Structures are given as C-alpha cells and as structure tokens.
Structure 1
C-alpha cells in the first residue's frame, strides 16, 4: 500500500528525521502557531540577535562612544564583507563590502561597469537585462541607460522560468556593455546557470552584474569560480539581517583599478579624515563605500552567519530542496484539483528557495490567510509565493500552511 504523504504524520516524521530540525528553535517566533511562508522577503530574527543588540548599545555604543570608529566600526564594512565572501559567496577577501541599500549598490556597480566599458570601446552601448528581472533592477537599467545615453536590450523570458543560455546568446554582441541578471528569479525561483551565463557574456566582451538577493544564504554561490565581475544582494531575506539591513556589493579584484563608482563620498576616500579638496578613491573595495556605514544594521546578520557557518551551505541547500519539494507534492495532491498550476521549476537543480502557485483567486486567498496568521506573499499575475527559509521552517509548518491554502481556495465563491 502506497503511503499517503499528505498526512500530518508524514510531516511530523520528516521533522523528526530532519538533521537540521533543531535549528528552528534558534529563531524568534518559531514556538508560535504562526505559519511563515515569507522567509524569502524578510527572515525571522535569530534569538541571539537580541543579546547582541543589547550588548552593542550598552558596551560598544554606550561604553566606547566615538572611540568605536577607531577600534572597530571603520573597518566593519570590509570585515563583514570578507566574512560574507567566505561563508556564503565563494569570494576571496578584499572583494566584498557591506553598506547602502540594494538599489544604491546596484546603481553604483552598474554605472561603474557601463562607464568603464564605454571608455574602453565606445561601441558598447547596450545593457542586456530580462523582462522578468526584479522591478528595481529593470527600473535602474532604464534610468542608467537614459542618464548615459545607452540602450536597454530586453531578453524575453517565461515568468515561470528564467534566463537560459539559449535566450541570452542572441542578445549579445559587440554592442553589449553589461549583462544584468538575477541568480534566482524573484517570481518563479528559477536558478540561473551562474558560471555558464557569465562565460557566455565574457565571450561577447561584456561584464556581468549578478543580483543575488533571492539566492544568498539559500543557494550555494561561488563567485570567484564563476569568474563573476560584479554582484549585489540584500541581507534581510535568507541572511536574517532585519528590515532594511544593509546590502553587500562584490567587485572582482581584477576590476578594482578600472571601475569608478559614481557616488563619491568621504568613506570611499583614501584618507577620509584628511577632508581635503578633491576626491581620491581608496584602493580596493573600500572605494565602493560612500557615506557613514550603517553599523547597527550590520549586527543581526552576524548571528545568521554563525548558524550558516555551523551548518554549511550544502546542508542548507539540501534542506531547502526537501522543503520546496514537499510543498510541491502537497500542491499536486491538494491544489491541482482546484485549478492551481505551479509557476516554478519542477527540476530541483533549477529551483531556488521559494515556489509560486498560480490561480486567479490568489490575491484574495493571500489576504484571507494573513488574517489567520498564515503568511505567504502575493505576486502578479495570480501568484501566491511560498518562501521557505531552511533553518527556520519545519515540514509541519509547510503542511499546515498548504492545508490552509487548500481550504481558502476551496471556499472561494
């Protein structure tokens, strides 16, 4: 007799045999009955973060005051950047800095890239980006193109999938300055071929900017192995840095002398406290900085990095695939008969940490679920998105949440 994997007992068994199951207790709110399906938008806080913040206020800020800059804070954007590089990015030291928002760092790196490309070859006047990239990325690409007299070349993609080599190749040529891609698509969760697409762009003479916001902390990355040029990502999703926590920017060391980011501020100066006339950029990745770094905002993600380093990205990825696979199994059993289709890859090799379920009633269903403390998010058109943060999400939570989706869909008039 075939086992019914849709029963609560199956979910309990999966939790009982999950080697990472105990890590769920390290997150605030995990003990409550709330079902959290939005870890790919804002991660739960790590319990240790409350103590870290309290110690910072009492000791580092309250005790050391302005001395903190000389003792630690001035170097913190690069120290934390190097740790991100080692733990989650696959990047050697000296190539990653933390600070600013994702939008600002995307602007800085993209502007620097296209300016360098045009200086080297005035014929390179196109930014290649896909039609289903995250809205900020698309808006910025259009804005930079207008600002610098460039052209945006759009790659048409299936919103239920993402950019592949077959789609990207025809858009590339001697006119391409920058290829701008998301490693994991925000809508479908499709995982792009990082090394393959980077290689394809390089063969055309283009630079590549990777948006890692939906992959960092969920999908293993190897930026140096990819020969990546530039990357930016947020820290409030799978890195659990909290609302508005600062983003990170990666610039491969081979580009440091060639790229000049456009927002020149005192913290990127080679001698910030000289405060003299003229901007002289600091060598290396420090030149990516502009204003005073958000030190307080850098604190929470350090606790999540502790957990990731303890567990390892390969184990996190394996748990992520089990969670999304289980959600898709329940969707097939419970939601497909109600007219739901899946807007995410079935193949786990190209599936990130979230899945999207499509149905015309999903906007209403999402609103109803929130009132029950079941928290997915909604993305047009008709997509209920389920983001499953591997260390803080249980299989029982997935089972309860998917059952609630089923019940609300069945109750639509």
Structure 2
C-alpha cells in the first residue's frame, strides 16, 4: 500500500499554498537540491570532461529512462531520455510515417496540445503528407485504411478527457496504422500500460507529474518489435551506432538508442533522477485510486458551492486523467484571484480554469481549501478587480 503521507513529505511545498498546478509544473522534490549540488561540486567541478565516463553521464539517458519505463507500462531498455518533447514528437511521428511509405495521412484531434499539431504540420509540409484533425470523440470513426499515423495525446490538456489507448491502438492496427501516444498529462498521473495496449511509439515530458523541474528532458519509447526498424528523420550524433568513430555517414544504433539526438542535459537529468526516487515505493494502481478520490471530491465540492461554473471534464472518472477543468466567461480573472489567495491552478483559453491533482502530494485538505476559496471568490465577485484582468505572458 502506497504511503501518500510519506510521498507528500518528500516535496518542498511552500507554506500557505494549495498547489493544484502539477499538470503544468511539479513542485521541487526535497532531494533534488542536494543531488544536483552534489553533481555540480563532486562531478562537474572535480571530474571535468572525465565525468562522461567516471560519473556515467553518457549512460544517464538509458538509466533514467528505465526508471520512467516502470511508470508507463514499459520494460527495461525501452525508454531513452533527452531533448524536448517537441523533438521527441517529431522523431516518433517521422519514424512512423517512414514505416508506412504508401500512406500520407497523419490523424490527430482538436484536443491535442497545439505544439504537437505544429510539429505534425511542419513534418507534413516537408514530406508531402496531410495532417487531418477531427474532434476528440470522432477519432475512432476516422481511423481508416489511408492513414499512416495516429498521433494522440492520451489526456486532453484542457478538458482532462482520456482516450482509450488500448481500443484506439487495436483499431489502428486493424487498419495498418501506427500509433504515437503523447503521455505529457499521463505519465505519473494515470495507470499507463504501453505494452499491454501494444502501442507503437510514446513520448512525454517530465516536468509535470514526474516533477523533474522546469525544462527537464523528455522521453521516448518504441515498442520492442519496432525498435530496430524505426528510423527517425532527425538523426543525431548520440543516436549513431558508434558516435566516437566520427563516421561521416549515419548508421543508427540498435534499439531505443537510435532515438537519442543531442548531448544529454546532465544537470537537468540529475534533478529528474532525484525526483524519480519518490516513485520507488508507489504502486500505480494506488495512485490511480487516489487520483479518482481527489478529483471526485473536488467536482462534487465545486458544484455544490460554485454553481456558476460549468464542468468541462468528463464526469465518469474512467474517462478522465488526473485533472479537473471548469468553464466561466471570466475564467482568467477568477484564476488570478485564486492564486492571490494561495490556491494555484492555471487558465487555458478561452475560458477554462484548470486544476491538476497529483496524488504524491495533494490530499483532501487541498481539495477542501480550494473548494472553499473558490466559492468565496465567486460569492463576493472578488475576482472583478483590475489587476486580475491584466494578462501575464504565461497563463
């Protein structure tokens, strides 16, 4: 049984703050500060360039990747870390597209995160493919024989709606379509099972529910049955079969190693590695049960105290991730008022108040506090102040 009181104590949570924005940026694990400092003082400072061998920096992307693999239903040696999520999306989609040379359509949905769509748009223009975007609920009906790739974010960043990975992957395979799953709002939030779903590719970031810190590196997974066949368009030095042979012609490394691109961000990955320590005693079924408990309590509490808000998240917990969204015409100002009162969520255009629930550190007291403060703000219309209408660069 997972001890969520112990995992909560593993984080630095500022006094007086109810933090419900872990689906944007997780808080700092207490162990990360010391681990990064040790790396900088004991490794970078003293070892200099010899740290690539002596401290194991070169192999860090696979070592940390194995730790992420357990949380997403993947196996050892199947996940590699590095670069940004957009780069990993490009790698996965381009590799899948190459493996279906007679097909030219990439299917996604309008609930996908815009940057994934931007990447697919650019790739489609470059290779003469077509990006087809449909409503989230219309994805299954649009899986047809002309598709090369199905590119889906499992949990919708605005609504929290969760796609059925196993069912959509099964239908895609029936039509000869390869799947790319973005787990940005799934990894560390829900019980992902990539191997059980027989997905083809998956990518994700680590600064949300995995708490790796701002800009921490992304990950990529390739199903083992495809790992030695997949060849992404973006071919980097670290993905070469023998990087230090300095061969002028690219020859891909075996397996997931070919999905490496640039030099690993060692400092950031060290912080992520420390963050993953918190997961060592966590059972993913317990995590999912706790997530449902918290989101159910929040939905019921808000609907009872703030009737002017409209639920924007599936009511059935099986159909949502670990976040809850509500809509209101003055959503931005309301969220700024909440933040001013120490309850931190975020806003997504055009009118969505978004709250992420991270079972590692959120509890029922957080739910109660957020419900109470939100209800008070709406009752008193205290959101209607000039400073709360002034939009910042990051919302």
Corresponding residue of 2:322: 353
Corresponding residue of 2:10: 26
Q: CA deviation at 1:317?
A: 1.4
Corresponding residue of 2:62: 78
**What is the DSSP-based 3-state SS (H/G/I as helix, E as strand, rest coil) of the residue aligned with 2:261?**
coil
1:88 and 1:22 map into 2 onto residues whose CA distance is 19
**What is the DSSP-based 3-state SS (H/G/I as helix, E as strand, rest coil) of the residue aligned with 2:244?**
coil
4+ runs deviating over 6 angstroms: none
Q: 1:138 aligns with which of 105, 111, 117?
A: 117
Q: How do residues 146-161 of structure 1 correspond to structure 2 at under 5 angstroms? A: 146-157=125-136
In the superposition, the TM-score normalised over structure 2's length comes to: 0.93
1:356 and 1:307 map into 2 onto residues whose CA distance is 27
Q: 2:263 aligns with which of 288, 292, 308?
A: 292
2:303 and 2:311 map into 1 onto residues whose CA distance is 9
Q: CA deviation at 1:300?
A: 2.2
Matched, 1:107 2:90: yes
**Unaligned residue ranges in structure 2 (runs of 5+):** 385-395
Q: 1:88-142: per-residue Cα shift (whole Å, max 9, x none)? A: 0111222211001001100111111112211xxx2x1101100111111111222
In the superposition, the TM-score normalised over structure 1's length comes to: 0.89
Q: CA deviation at 1:302?
A: 2.2
1:180 and 1:150 map into 2 onto residues whose CA distance is 14
Corresponding residue of 2:99: 116
Task: Name the stretch that deviates more: 284-293 or 254-263.
Answer: 254-263
Matched, 1:344 2:324: no
Corresponding residue of 1:4: none
Alpha-carbon contact 1:94-1:253 (below 8 Å) kept:
no
Alpha-carbon contact 1:263-1:290 (below 8 Å) kept:
yes
Alpha-carbon contact 1:153-1:171 (below 8 Å) kept:
no
Q: CA deviation at 1:409?
A: 1.9
Matched, 1:88 2:66: no
Q: CA deviation at 1:367?
A: 1.7
Alpha-carbon contact 2:207-2:213 (below 8 Å) kept:
yes
Corresponding residue of 1:326: 297
Q: CA deviation at 1:19?
A: 4.9
Q: 1:125-174: per-residue Cα shift (whole Å, max 9, x none)? A: 101100111111111222211111111222223xxxxx4xxx22331222
Q: 1:224-253: per-residue Cα shift (whole Å, max 9, x none)? A: 111110000000011000000000000112
1:362 and 1:62 map into 2 onto residues whose CA distance is 48
Alpha-carbon contact 1:369-1:404 (below 8 Å) kept:
yes
Q: How do residues 358-397 of structure 1 correspond to structure 2 at under 5 angstroms? A: 358-397=327-366
Q: How many residues align?
A: 380
Alpha-carbon contact 1:44-1:392 (below 8 Å) kept:
no
Corresponding residue of 1:301: 272
**What is the DSSP-based 3-state SS (H/G/I as helix, E as strand, rest coil) of the residue aligned with 1:104?**
helix
1:40 and 1:252 map into 2 onto residues whose CA distance is 26
Alpha-carbon contact 1:361-1:409 (below 8 Å) kept:
no
**Unaligned residue ranges in structure 1 (runs of 5+):** 1-17, 158-162
Alpha-carbon contact 2:31-2:275 (below 8 Å) kept:
no
1:393 and 1:29 map into 2 onto residues whose CA distance is 10
Q: 1:292-331: per-residue Cα shift (whole Å, max 9, x none)? A: 1111111222233222221211111111111111111111
Q: CA deviation at 1:268?
A: 1.1
